Structure 1
Amino acid sequence: MAKILFSCLFLFFLSYSFSQKLTEENYKNVIFDVEFTTAGDREIKKIDSIISICHQSGYNNCETFGYLKIANIYNKNNDIKKAFYYTDLVEKKNLITSDTDLEAVFYFYTIRSLLYQKLGERVTSLKMLDEARGRIKDNPYFEYLLDWQYAGIYNEMNDKKKALKAYKNAYLKAKEFREKQDPDIRKNMNKISNSYKPIAYLAGMYLEAGKMDSAKIYIEEALRETKDIQEKGIQYITSLYAGKYYMQAGDYKKAQHHLLICKNISVYHYKSQNNREAVITDLISLYEKMGEKDSAAYYSRELLTVKQFNEAQNKVQKDILDKRKAGDEANKKEERSTLIYICAGLLVAIICIALYFFYFKKEKTENISVSPEIIAGQDNDLFEQVIMLAKENNPEFLTRFNDYCPGFSEKLLEIENFKSSEIRFCAYLYLNFSTKDIAEYTFTSVRTVQTKKYRLRKKLNIPNDMDIYLWFKTLMK
């Protein structure tokens, strides 16, 4: 009942937004307020609806924030391919410009950095952070986030000295941010909660260095400072390092308590690769120390399953990136070849003109204007995006289809007051998908699709002897 009520209130907000012109800041706040820790498909659909409104209103910053939040949700839920897809959309739609909000630019580069770090592309990941650092000035919140991400990469590279220094900087900058927080506490609640993360990470660095006394100080501070914070990300990281500390200190009961909290969060909320592997690895070590061989073996099998899934997923994304790099290199090579041919052609033309004037300077010259031929073709890249979104039954499909085929929805609405779902079905027909394809992509039966076609014919008054696909093609002529 609560979910139904929440959905109704959200739909009411969207309806109200169409009638009352809200500011871009209003929409950004709505996106920020979508609960991140428990976010899934339902929340993604809500954000996508707001993106559509922002796109129509020309609110580019809000649109950018929406795509990046969806990317971060997919990253949290361990779907790196879709996370990359939504950061790519920001680039393909040219949303990052000199006028883009600094915070949006910052999140674009830091989220991209996290994704590359997951793929083991640490050099590229560091370049993303360097790009972000070059754009910020005297902002403790951004500075602590950057130092925190730098520290994670340095730690993976086994440069413990740099990692410890970066975590210390992140810890101090996070404290500075909390002391200078904006009076509008509602606006900054998520940021304030996140700013406690460096405490646990700093404890972890001292733990790795074998400095148990220093680790104890920061673990106790982390547990004390975050005990009333409900944000799952903070609970996860604090409990993870508390579990590591108590395991090394020999207090296995406390270690088990904290690690099982982490395990629960990594299964139901933070499903990312690093989170799941980290806690399962520690549980294996803990049960081995406790002499519980069956539990250790169980988690060893689970770790293998998680690693195999992550490796397969990462391979798919790496292959995509490799193909893109190869394509970029091929394009550059083709551009260089084209440039060489153009230069050679210009050189020949200059020589010919010089000879012409030298031998025929007394003759009247003719003005020759050359008009380059412009070939207007379809946006193949956009078409491929639309087809992919259709096959995935992605909420973004109709928005991108309207970009690809402007005026389609408006023409249908002139004929009949169609629902959004009906326009979406018409778009599938316009793209010439068969009944079987539509049933497969929309997770419905062939019979259901046939019934929808029949009702659509009635609504649009399409003659029985006319092909419905042909009717939609002629609609746009």
Structure 2
Amino acid sequence: MLQLADHFINRNYRQSLADATKASKIAEKDENSSKKAWSYYYIAKSLIFLKEFRKSTYYINKGLREESAEQDPILKAALLHLKIGIYSRLKMNKLMHEESMKILDLLNANTSTEGLVIKAKTLYGLSLITDHQKESDKLAYEAQTILKHIPDSQYNAIKETFKFKAYFYNFRGEVFLERKMPDSAQYYLFKAYHYSKIEGFIAKNTFYASIGNLYSQKKDNRKALIYYLKALDDIDAYDKNAFAKNGPGLLKKIYTIYQYFGDEKKYKYYYDRYRIANEQHLQHIDDEVLTTANEITHEKVSAEKARTQTQDVIIILILVSAISAIIFLWWRNKKIQQKKDLLIRHRETTLLETEQKATALSLKVEDALIDVIEAAKNNLQEFWPMFQKLYPDFSGKILSVNPDIRTSELVLCAYAFLGFTTKDIAVYTFKAVQTVKNNKHNLRKRLQIPPKQDLNVWLRDFYQN
């Protein structure tokens, strides 16, 4: 069952989940800790692909509590890496960094093929959340070097779940597309597509869409259209769960190209599909959940640290009391030990419940933030109201600096706060680049931002502090 779960992990998520669930029942009956933990791993990973993040977190923690997870560094690192995947979707970069450091420490001296691949995955994940390009490239290069020096015979022999060359090269290609380096991007994107076939991916829409972006950047709209249509067909055939997130964006690219070609019939067909899909996607925003999840996203890290420190102090005091009792009143040792065990179990239960609640509420942030960014890119009228729902105190903070700031300037602040460049803003709002530069210059003066201070960074720091 575990071998089947591994075989289907990149081919059929639901089948992998079914096989892993059967494996867990057998392992639980046999009380086999290692097989229980591995079955929980495959269940959790399948649930991530199926966007069942809350259930996935439950099984990750269940696996980590198994004795075998402490004894097997590869197993423990694999489970921790699933946590990174969930934190990535929540944009919780600090927690991603903390878990990544745990994995690198855990596998520091591990030279197994599986250990090296997980190290490479972890290093590349760190490169994606690093603010400085030079440091990001260094981490990505380290990851690439590790993969390059693993012989194909050894790489092909590891479990399917560990293989990630296809995704790695695709991510690298997308990075070079963002930097407007299509030739470098092409090398990685076609290498990614090659490995997607070797690694047995049934759903290849991610790779088709990236190649479409490559040809779009090269101004070859006909080839771009071919790959965008392939990506859409692939989602319909093999990966319907991906449509909610990627479908509207693909449909927009497709109808835009048909509009460019002057094909009114196909333009209208795909535009209508886009409009319906986008409206359905936007309906999922919930004001109360967004507000609560946003607060937890900003406060979870500091709250967890403060709570952990307090609980650690309690444990230390209990240990000191136990030692004192052993010296002076040995017969009280049993009672003190029982109290210590009770508090430890209470601590673990409280931390687990807190993490599950925080994760459940925070999971809504990813979809909400994607919706806001898509609305910004599409220059929708709903963008500003949606942004205010996600960041309800943003306007008040800006107006506290200058009450005369206009709504149009607040919208420009929102674009900059989301990390869009001057060129991005110009493209999305249909304005000249120089106009956006002038607007930014006037905005900086009205907010009294120092000349050498980056506007985007200033807005982030000002809002968070």
Aligned-partner residue type, residue 59 of structure 1:
N
Determine whether 1:246 maps to 2:215.
yes
Tell me the C-alpha RMSD between the 2 structures. Answer: 4.7
- Offset of 1:97 from its aligned partner? 1.4
Aligned pairs for 1:124-135 (under 5 A) are 124-135=95-106
Aligned pairs for 1:393-404 (under 5 A) are none
Q: 91, 105, 108: which one pairs with 2:79?
A: 108
- Offset of 1:66 from its aligned partner? 0.7
Which residue in the other structure is 1:122 paired with? 93
Aligned pairs for 1:244-323 (under 5 A) are 244-266=213-235, 269-270=238-239, 277-278=245-246, 280-291=248-259, 294=268, 295-296=270-271, 298-299=273-274, 302-303=277-278, 305-306=280-281, 309=284
1:47 and 1:269 mapped to 2: Cα distance?
A: 20
1:239 is paired with a residue of what secondary structure? helix
Which residue in the other structure is 1:97 paired with? 70
For 1:195-219, what per-residue CA distance to the aligned partner results, in whole angstroms no more than 9, with x for missing partners? 2332222222222111122223333
Q: 61, 72, 84: which one pairs with 2:45?
A: 72
Which residue in the other structure is 1:194 paired with? 164
Q: Which runs of 5+ in 1 are unaligned?
A: 1-26, 354-366, 389-477
Identity %: 12
Contact 2:17 2:47 in 1 (8 A): no
For 1:269-297, what per-residue CA distance to the aligned partner results, in whole angstroms no more than 9, with x for missing partners? 55677x85356435424533542764346
1:335 and 1:225 mapped to 2: Cα distance?
A: 47
2:115 and 2:254 mapped to 1: Cα distance?
A: 36
- Offset of 1:226 from its aligned partner? 4.6
Closer, same or farther: CA 264–65 of 1 in aligned 2, 3 Å: farther
Determine whether 1:208 maps to 2:182.
no
- Offset of 1:63 from its aligned partner? 1.1
Determine whether 1:85 maps to 2:58.
yes
1:168 and 1:104 mapped to 2: Cα distance?
A: 25
More helix by share: 2
1:269 and 1:117 mapped to 2: Cα distance?
A: 24
Aligned-partner residue type, residue 76 of structure 2:
V
1:68 and 1:318 mapped to 2: Cα distance?
A: 28
- Offset of 1:152 from its aligned partner? 4.6
- Offset of 1:104 from its aligned partner? 1.1
- Worse-matched range after superposition: 67-76 or 153-162: 153-162
Closer, same or farther: CA 172–238 of 1 in aligned 2, 3 Å: farther
Contact 1:110 1:128 in 2 (8 A): yes
For 1:2-51, what per-residue CA distance to the aligned partner results, in whole angstroms no more than 9, with x for missing partners? xxxxxxxxxxxxxxxxxxxxxxxxx64344234543222x6434322211
- Offset of 1:109 from its aligned partner? 1.3
2:322 and 2:70 mapped to 1: Cα distance?
A: 36
- Offset of 1:344 from its aligned partner? 10
Aligned pairs for 1:387-398 (under 5 A) are none
Contact 2:121 2:143 in 1 (8 A): yes
Q: Tell which structure's C-alpha radius of gyration is larger.
A: 1
2:231 and 2:127 mapped to 1: Cα distance?
A: 24
Contact 1:154 1:162 in 2 (8 A): yes
Give TM-score scaled by structure 1 length.
Answer: 0.55
Which residue in the other structure is 1:7 paired with? none
Contact 2:77 2:118 in 1 (8 A): no
Closer, same or farther: CA 369–65 of 1 in aligned 2, 3 Å: closer
Which residue in the other structure is 2:377 paired with? none
2:129 and 2:81 mapped to 1: Cα distance?
A: 17
1:213 and 1:193 mapped to 2: Cα distance?
A: 26
Closer, same or farther: CA 107–251 of 1 in aligned 2, 3 Å: same
Q: 57, 66, 72: which one pairs with 2:30?
A: 57
2:106 is paired with a residue of what secondary structure? coil
- Offset of 1:314 from its aligned partner? 8.8
Determine whether 1:32 maps to 2:34.
no
- Worse-matched range after superposition: 262-271 or 128-137: 262-271
Would you say how many aligned residue pairs link Structure 1 and Structure 2? 334
Q: 128, 143, 146: which one pairs with 1:155?
A: 128
Which residue in the other structure is 1:401 paired with? none
Which residue in the other structure is 1:176 paired with? 149
- Offset of 1:77 from its aligned partner? 0.8
1:315 and 1:46 mapped to 2: Cα distance?
A: 38
Aligned-partner residue type, residue 201 of structure 1:
F
2:143 and 2:44 mapped to 1: Cα distance?
A: 24
Q: Which runs of 5+ in 2 are unaligned?
A: 261-266, 357-465
Aligned-partner residue type, residue 58 of structure 1:
E
For 1:188-247, what per-residue CA distance to the aligned partner results, in whole angstroms no more than 9, with x for missing partners? 4736863233222222222211112222333344445555664135x2332122011011
2:13 and 2:90 mapped to 1: Cα distance?
A: 23
Determine whether 1:236 maps to 2:190.
no
Aligned-partner residue type, residue 138 of structure 1:
T
